[in-house]
Amino acid sequence: MGTPSRRALLLAFVVMCAIWSSTWLVIKEGLTDLPPLRAAAMRFSLAALVFAGLAPWLHRKEGGARPTWSLRLGMGLLNFAASYGIVYWGETVLPSGLASVLWATFPMMVAVVGHFALPEESLSRRQAAGFAIAFAGVGLLFVEDLAAIGPEATRVGALFLLSPLASAFGNIQVKRRGSDTSSALLNRDGMVIGALALWLATFALEPGASLHWTPRAVFSIVYLALVGTVLAFGLYFWVLRHSGAKQLSLIAYVIPVAAVAVGVLAGGETLTPSLAGGTGLVVLGVWFAARRPRAQAAPSTKSQASRSG
């Protein structure tokens, strides 16, 4: 099969952005009828089941070594169980658009964690400036929007930032030890481990939680598993093979803005001046933190497809 056209790659990029912008609201809507950890566990159980059938084919197309157990555990426990578990729990309190903006600090956190964990990834002055700008935006959200929701929202918002931080540590581990690892096999195994860890968490933390199998609940699980996970990651792998990391990095800037718009237009959430301003500052800060000088080669993103939402 030949190289796909630019139009096909652009379409795939648009579809990915549309999917990952919508998942925040779908999570929020599903939590009306489902306890958070159980909803996340069911999502990744279904996604892992379907992805298990696709992973061998994706692996043959992509290549790469089989992941080590340390990489599997890191991906499953950090990028899937911890990160998504916090997202689902956080959205029981936070509006979907606001949650997406807080999570958009992820690329910046990768830059900061990489500064301490990877000798070749020292934080530049420009990236440090991006860090400051983005957290000014986060601070604005805490002072205005989270405070307006209530004291619990401020606490949940602070703990919510552990979600992108957990994924940042997981991705740095992959970069250190898994640059030649198959992303398809690593994500498949990570989904299985993440689902198992989430189920264990439900038994410990949600023993008596009730769930209601409404059409909305079923749609949430099926959409997030098949469309938000399997299809979106499948497109990501395909675009990554034919395009590259630089183009895909634009997702980090598009999703928080689009997710806020989805929450306002489809979820009835309020677009406050502080939310708009905070979103703009976070996106600007992430751009500073994530971009690299042209002369510096972009890092390999193999096996780093995980993101939240």
Opening angle at CA 136, ends 13 and 266, nearest 5: 45
Mean per-residue pLDDT, 237-245: 65
Mean per-residue pLDDT, 39-45: 97
Which pLDDT tens digit goes with each residue over 186-232? 989 999 999 999 999 999 999 988 889 999 999 999 999 999 999 98
Distance between CA atoms of residues 303 and 309, nearest Å: 18
Is residue 200, in this structure, part of any structural domain at all? yes
Angle, nearest 10°, between helix axes 106-117 and 125-141?
140
Under 8 Å between Cβ of 256 and 279: yes
pLDDT surpassing 90 at residue 67: yes
Is residue 305, in this structure, part of any structural domain at all? no
Is residue 309, in this structure, part of any structural domain at all? no
Mean of pLDDT over the chain = 87
Which pLDDT tens digit goes with each residue over 7-31? 888 898 889 999 999 999 999 999 9
Instruction: Name the residue type at position 155.
Output: R
Instruction: Name the residue type at position 199.
Output: W
Is residue 2, in this structure, part of any structural domain at all? no
pLDDT surpassing 90 at residue 308: no
Is residue 1, in this structure, part of any structural domain at all? no
Distance between CA atoms of residues 253 and 246, nearest Å: 12
Is residue 30, in this structure, part of any structural domain at all? yes
Mean per-residue pLDDT, 237-260: 74
Q: How many domains does the chain have?
A: 1
Distance between CA atoms of residues 184 and 55, nearest Å: 5
Which pLDDT value is given to residue 301? 40
pLDDT surpassing 90 at residue 246: no
Residue-range definition of the domain harbouring residue 140? 16-290
Is residue 6, in this structure, part of any structural domain at all? no
Mean per-residue pLDDT, 256-285: 94
Is residue 295, in this structure, part of any structural domain at all? no
Which pLDDT value is given to residue 64? 86
Three-state DSSP class for residue 262: helix
Which pLDDT value is given to residue 6? 80
pLDDT surpassing 60 at residue 296: no
- Write the CB contacts of 157 (distance below 8 Å, at least 6 apart in sequence): 90, 94, 98, 102, 141, 142, 146
pTM listed for this prediction: 0.89
Which pLDDT value is given to residue 157? 96
